[in-house]
Amino acid sequence: MITKQALINQTESANGHQPIHAHRRTFIGGALGALLASPGRMLAEDTDAPSNPFIVLLKGVYQPVPAGQGPASNLGLTTVNLSSGSFSKTQIYAVFGISDSNNDDNHEGKAIGTFYVGAGHRAYDLPGGAIAMRFLPAPAGAPPGFNGFVPFPDGTGGTFLEGTFELTILEATGIYQAFAGGHNHMVDRLHQLANGSRDEFCFCNISQYQFP
């Protein structure tokens, strides 16, 4: 962005040296098997290749994935075990640069995939492939909200948990293969309801390139 120069200039003038980077995000910090794993999943060649980056929205109340009841063939992923009993899942919606061809006739919000979280890892079951990720560690001195949540009361007995998260992509299958080794920048507002359940609302900016 361009006007950030002004922000930097302000910081420089205030401190007499280079800008402070307290908020900088350096802080912040088996395709076929996968295709066959989900019923109704389209073949990769029938699915548009995602843009780089692409954006998805994770939304919905998390449901546990009981031990032994993960997706068939583990989505073709080898770096996560989605049947370990430590994962929960919610839904994935297309936002930008990714096909929601399951919903070609309905732009209004059918989920395009399933998101799994647990054991420090993430997995995305998407049209045409799957992606596994793990969290990047927060560097020493990172501010609250970097790879961690900051709570805000929701006024009804629950809590909004907000933060950004940085993840590295461990493996990617199908049409997402080029994203292996890439990055996911998450902008998250997780709603912990008064009844203890968690309702996700999280944008994921997934790129082939690393993001500081």
Rule CB under 8 A: which residues touch another protein? 1-8, 10-11, 19-26, 28, 48, 50-51, 53, 55, 57, 59-60, 93-101, 104, 107-109, 143-145, 150, 152, 155, 160, 162-164, 185, 187-189, 201, 203, 205, 209-212
Q: How far is the CB of 107 from another protein (least distance, A)?
A: 6
CB atoms within 10 A of CB 35: 24
Q: Where are the alpha helices (DSSP H) in the chain?
A: 4-15, 31-37
CB atoms within 10 A of CB 109: 13
Q: How far is the CB of 204 from another protein (least distance, A)?
A: 10
Which of 37, 188 has the CB closer to another protein?
188
Q: How far is the CB of 33 from another protein (least distance, A)?
A: 25
Which of 180, 187 has the CB closer to another protein?
187
Q: How far is the CB of 171 from another protein (least distance, A)?
A: 22
Which of 68, 105 has the CB closer to another protein?
105
Distance of CA 30 to the CA centre of its chain: 21
Distance from C-alpha of 189 to C-alpha of 203, rounded to nearest angstrom:
9
3-class state of residue 35 by DSSP: helix
Which of 124, 160 has the CB closer to another protein?
160
Which of 11, 83 has the CB closer to another protein?
11
CA distances from 187 to 58, 119, 133, 138 (A): 10, 20, 15, 15
Contact between residue 172 and residue 129 where contact means Cβ atoms under 8 Å apart: yes
